[in-house]
Amino acid sequence: MPSSVHPVQTFKRLLPFPIRDESWGLLTSYAELILAFRRVGRLTSIDSVDDVLNILIVESLQLLRFLPEREPYRLADLGAGSGALGISIALVHPHASVVLFERSKRKLTFLNIALSFFGLSNVLIRDQDVFRVKKREYEFDFVASRAFAPFEDFIEVSKRILKRGGSILGFLPRRGGSVGDIPVKKEENWRSEVCSYKLAGGVEGMAYSITFVEPS
């Protein structure tokens, strides 16, 4: 497998918090694994380890700013795809319990390979239609996604599987996105936080957290 040509610090300094060299080594191996299976698994059109690290993994880890650094928590990754969000978080936060929701058979095959490759005991895979999940069938502390659309569906599905006081995490559109785009009912009590970040190559984005104080 090819290796990144950029110094490790090029990417590590873009993360919201420092991570151990051991964790970064695992993330680099994961980027290489995604690249090796990208065509057969239809995982991504990205064709270099550097870009997988930058656009998929480092960006996904921007959500670390909203997650407990040491306390155990449960996180759902909706439409997990390559697992760039959920698996990256699980590799950096072994105290997290992560559930990957995905329906594509090709991507499910890859996710199982990745879990076996890294021996991840803190990650589960669910081949389950999230639109059919019953309210309170799961109770996650956090529900996150990189690309679950439309926005309205992501919010509504997330609210059904969040525990009270849980948070929805995601990324705003890179062009013209703002927290005002997040569809929540006006009568609901909620608070939001938006943080901007930069990736290598001058790419900028915004990550958000929405916490429903009194979920319906």
**pLDDT of the residue at 134:** 86
Long-range contacts of the stretch 41-45 (C-beta < 8 A, 24+): 41/82, 41/106, 41/107, 41/109, 41/110, 42/104, 42/106, 42/107, 43/81, 43/82, 43/107, 43/110, 44/81, 44/82
**pLDDT of the residue at 164:** 87
**pTM over cut 0.85:** yes
Tokens of 127: 């081949």
3-state secondary structure of 120: coil
pLDDT at 179 over 90: no
Q: Are 146 and 85 in contact (CB under 8 A)?
A: yes
Phi, psi at 175, each rounded to 5°: -105, 110
**pLDDT of the residue at 156:** 87
Identify which has the larger pLDDT, 114 or 164: 114
d(CA 183, CA 155): 7
* Domain spanning 8-212: CATH superfamily: Vaccinia Virus protein VP39 (3.40.50.150)
**pLDDT of the residue at 208:** 92
Q: How confident is the model at residue 169 (pLDDT cuts 50, 70, 90)?
A: very high
Mean pLDDT score, 20-44 = 91
Mean pLDDT score, 188-213 = 87
Q: Which of 138-142, 159-163, 177-181 has the lowest mean pLDDT?
A: 177-181
d(CA 10, CA 22): 16
Q: Where are the alpha helices (DSSP H) in the chain?
A: 8-12, 21-37, 49-51, 59-60, 86-92, 105-118, 151-161
* HEC secondary structure over 175-216: CCCCHHHCCCCCCCCEEEEEEEEECHHHCEEEEEEEEECCCC
Q: How confident is the model at residue 6 (pLDDT cuts 50, 70, 90)?
A: low
Mean pLDDT score, 41-58 = 91
pLDDT at 187 over 60: no
Q: How confident is the model at residue 183 (pLDDT cuts 50, 70, 90)?
A: low
- pLDDT tens digits along 117-128: 999 999 999 999
The share of the chain scoring above pLDDT 90, in percent, equals 62
**pLDDT of the residue at 216:** 47
- pLDDT tens digits along 70-115: 999 999 999 999 999 999 999 999 999 999 999 999 999 999 999 9
